[in-house]
Structure 1
Amino acid sequence: MRKTAAAGLAVGLIAALGFAAPASASTSASAQLSVLHGIPDTPVDVYVNGELTLDDFQPGDLAGPLTLPAGDYEVALTAPDAADASTPILGPATLTLAGGGNYTAAAYLSEGGDPSLKLFQNDTATTSAGQGRLTVRHIAAAPAVDVLAGGTPVIEDLTNPNEATLNLPAGTVSASVALAGTTDPVLGPTDVPIQDGVLTIVYAWGSAEDENLALAVQTVTVSHSNPGGVPSGTAGYLAQRDATMSFIGLAAAGALAIAAAAATAVAMRRRQEARR
């Protein structure tokens, strides 16, 4: 019989990885790992070192964070209810976790729409007192964007599957987004809160051409300015379903900006082609 996640995705991932020893592991150090499914319309089973780890992992889901022994983990994604990992739809790929590292593994679409897998290392270095950190990750099948502050680009030509990080004073920033290489905003300006001692990671995922862009948000405490904080996250379709939750704070605003810019770029390209 197929095993199912009896107590949620995170619990299932913890249990499975607890028995799936890394191919090359150090018992003296550990790492933290979260997993984001950013491929639209494609439920998958996730295998780690040949063992079924997540059953029917849905697009937009974020599992973790988990504390794991440092080392190499072989990850493969299969169609739901596959007998084993011998015919993956993505992978196998080796994820190397270093001791003390904090990571998010993202399954996503390349700019050209091909299923891909990338391991991101989350920047958990302590921020200066009174500062927060923003990381924007572009993992959508969509073109590049610039992020503007006061009309000046502060993040330029952000392309899939890259990221950009800013350390900013806690407070509110007026930000807008333009197509790469331009300064005419396609969204904003928008007032965005920056949280003291918190890394906010914004993922734009999905496909602009297929009009299924979505948001995923992950937050990680990076300093002692917020004692007792732990890494946490929300993701994908949850942000679409709940407008109140999805547009709270910096993460939703940033991801929405990228999604809007990408969709606008695709629409502009289609209009140009139609005129030819």
Structure 2
Amino acid sequence: MVHVTTRRASFALIGIGAAALAGVMVEPGYAANTAEIYVVQGLPDKSLDVSIDGKSVDTGIATAKVAGPFKVEPGRRTVTFSDDKGVVLEKALTVEAQSSSDVVAHLPASASAAPTMTVFENDLSAVPQGKATLTVAHTAAVPPADIRVNGKVLFENVANGESLTLVVPADTYSVDIVPTGKNGPAVLGPVDLTVKAGGLDRVFAVGDPTKKTMNVAVQVIPTGSKGSDKPDRVNTGTGGQAVEYHGLMVPNILH
């Protein structure tokens, strides 16, 4: 059973610098009593088939690709990743009606351990004009790491299977991941990511730096915009500690 937990904290976004992330735009849509599942193929050097509750939904998904959305009935669902040798990974999760989830097949912190699956819930709330929601997920074979934006640590000690979520101005950001408490070498990036306004921009770090297979999976789900383009909040995701820099006040996660 895969459980999804989310920890959030809100604070004012005074300034974050340049912007980031080119992704594929995907239109969301729900029937009254369905949910949507996206699958992210984060296992290096593999081409995987995916089934949900025993029914094939896609085949030959390459590394760092996102497939879906797949509409499912709410309740307990089983997602299976397989290749020509058989089942690679299979886990059950519970989805709610009108929810959106990312199911990520990826390496754990130790690349020698068996692959794992992590589920991230997508917040499709509308964002202020000119802004976007940006989610960065740590799903690579890397110990807890710091995520830097434009050379400054924004979130520290983010573990494998955790994510962070920010509401930011649409722009292009330089993002890299470094070992916690160190300036480098970077295990990923720096990567220029162009964040698109009016959407949920998701970035998944995948792969194994010791085997030079680090990569990113990127996709955008439109959410729509609301209100004015005044500075908004930055929300923490499922883990990591936020830090303070250049007027951006980021409290420690307390819950």
Residue 82 of structure 2 is matched in structure 1 by 78
Distance 1:222 1:53 in 2: 24
**Following the alignment from structure 1 to structure 2, what is the Cα–Cα distance between the partners of residues 49 and 219?**
26
Aligned to 2:143: 143
Asked which structure has the greater RCO (Cα within 8 Å, sep 6+), the reply is: 2
Using the alignment, how far apart are the partners of 2:61 and 2:191 within structure 1?
33
Deviation at 1:146, TM superposition (A): 1.9
1:166-192 Cα offsets, whole Å, 9 max, x none, are 111234556665432235785888775
Q: CA distance change for structure 1 residues 104 and 152 in 2, over 3 Å: closer, same or farther? A: same
**TM-score, structure 2 normalization:** 0.64
Q: Distance in 1 between matches of 2:51 and 2:173?
A: 41
2:107 counterpart (93, 106, 109):
109
How far the C-alpha of 1:116 sits from its partner, in A, is: 0.7
Q: Which has the higher helix share?
A: 1
The separation in 2 between residues aligned to 1:96 and 1:118, in whole angstroms, is: 13
Q: Which residue of 2 aligns with 1:220?
A: 221
Alignment partners' CA distance in 2, 1:175 and 1:41: 24
Q: Specify whether residues 136 and 152 from structure 1 end up closer, same or farther in structure 2 by C-alpha distance, changes over 3 A only.
A: same
Would you say 1:37 and 2:38 are equivalent positions? no
The answer on whether the counterparts of 2:51 and 2:58 sit within 8 Å (CA) in structure 1 is yes
Shift of 1:219: 0.6
Q: Note the 1:117-136 alignment, pairs <5 A.
A: 117-136=117-136
Alpha carbons 2:58, 2:67 under 8 Å: kept: no
Whether 2:88 is the aligned partner of 1:89: answer yes
Does the 8 Å contact 1:145/1:157 carry over to 2? yes
> What is the Cα deviation at residue 199 of structure 1?
1.4
- For structure 1, list consecutive stretches of 5 or more residues without a partner in the other structure: 1-26, 83-87, 226-276
Aligned-partner residue type, residue 31 of structure 1? A
**Residue 50 (structure 1) shift:** 2.7
Query: Secondary structure in 2 aligned to 1:219?
Result: strand
For the residues of structure 2 that align with 1:173 and 1:193, how far apart are their CA atoms? 6
Q: Does the 8 Å CA contact 1:109/1:140 hold for their aligned counterparts? A: yes
Letter in 2 for 1:208: P
Residue 261 of structure 1: aligned partner:
none
Distance 1:224 1:163 in 2: 23
Cα deviation for residue 57 of structure 1 reads 3.6
214-223 or 185-194, which deviates more: 185-194
C-alpha separation in 1, matches of 2:69 and 2:79: 16
Are 2:132 and 2:168, in contact at CA under 8 Å, matched by a contact in 1?
yes
Matched ranges for 1:1-276 at <5 A: 28-80=32-84, 82=86, 88-91=87-90, 93-113=91-111, 114-149=114-149, 152-173=152-173, 177-182=177-182, 186=186, 193-224=194-225
The answer to whether the Cα contact below 8 Å between 1:152 and 1:183 also exists between their aligned partners in 2 is no
The residue aligned with 1:19 is: none
Q: How many residues were matched structurally?
A: 193
TM-superposed deviation, 1:216 = 1.0
The alignment-based identity, stated in percent, is 28
Q: CA deviation at 1:127?
A: 1.4
CA apart distance, 1:32: 1.6
Kindly report the root-mean-square deviation, in angstroms, between the aligned alpha carbons of the 2 structures. Answer: 2.9
What is the deviation of 1:39?
Answer: 0.9
CA distance change for structure 1 residues 204 and 95 in 2, over 3 Å: closer, same or farther?
same
1:104 Cα deviation after fit? 1.2
Given the superposition, is the C-alpha separation of residues 101 and 145 from structure 1 closer, same or farther in structure 2, using an over 3 Å criterion? Answer: same
Contact kept, 8 Å, 2:32 with 2:98, in 1: the verdict is: no
Q: Which residues of structure 2 form unaligned runs of 5+?
A: 1-30, 227-255
Could you say which structure has the larger radius of gyration? Answer: 1
